[in-house]
Structure 1
Amino acid sequence: MITYIKGKLVEKSPTFLVVESGGIGYFINISLNTFDQIKDKENILVYTHLQIKEDSHTLYGFAQKSEREIFRLLISVSGIGSNIARTMLSSLSPVQIRDAIASADVAIIQGVKGIGAKTAQRVILDLKDKVLKIYNIDEVSPNSNNTNKEEALSALEVLGFTKRQSEKVVDRVLKQDTSLSVEDIIKQTLKNL
Structure 2
Amino acid sequence: MIEYIKGELTEITPALAVIECNGVGYGVNVSLNTYSAIQGKKDVKLYIYEAIREDAYVLYGFASKQERELFLLLITVSGIGGNTARMILSALSPSELCNVISSGNEKLLKTVKGIGLKTAQRIIVELKDKIATIGVDSAMPVSTVVSSVQTEIYEEAVSALTMLGFAQAPSQKVVASILKEEPDAAVEKVIKLALKRL
TM-score range normalised by the length of the shorter chain:
0.7 to 0.9
Indicate whether 1:116 and 2:116 are aligned: yes
Distance (whole Å) between structure 2 residues aligned to residue 98 and residue 81 of structure 1: 19
| Change beyond 3 A, Cα 1:169–1:85 | closer
Indicate whether 1:39 and 2:39 are aligned: yes
Residue 172 of structure 1 aligns with which residue? Answer: 174
| Change beyond 3 A, Cα 1:100–1:156 | closer
In structure 1, runs of 5+ residues without a counterpart are 177-184
The Cα shift of 1:56 comes to 1.0
The equivalences for 1:47-126 within 5 A come to: 47-126=47-126
In structure 2, runs of 5+ residues without a counterpart are 162-167, 194-198
Task: Choose which of 154, 158, 161 in structure 1 pairs with 2:152.
Answer: 154
Higher mean C-alpha displacement, 147-156 vs 84-93? 147-156
Normalization by structure 2: what TM-score?
0.75
The Cα shift of 1:134 comes to 3.7
| Change beyond 3 A, Cα 1:170–1:113 | closer
The Cα shift of 1:39 comes to 3.0
| Change beyond 3 A, Cα 1:157–1:135 | closer
The Cα shift of 1:120 comes to 0.2
Distance (whole Å) between structure 1 residues aligned to residue 144 and residue 42 of structure 2: 42
Contact 2:13–2:35 under 8 Å retained in 1: yes
The Cα shift of 1:132 comes to 2.5
| Change beyond 3 A, Cα 1:57–1:162 | closer
Contact 1:170–1:189 under 8 Å retained in 2: no
Normalization by structure 1: what TM-score?
0.77
Q: Specify the code of the residue in structure 1 equivalent to 2:173.
A: D
Corresponding residue pairs, total = 177
| Change beyond 3 A, Cα 1:44–1:162 | closer
Residue 25 of structure 1 aligns with which residue? Answer: 25
Residue 14 of structure 1 aligns with which residue? Answer: 14
User: What is the RMSD of the two structures over their aligned residues, measured on CA atoms?
Assistant: 3.4
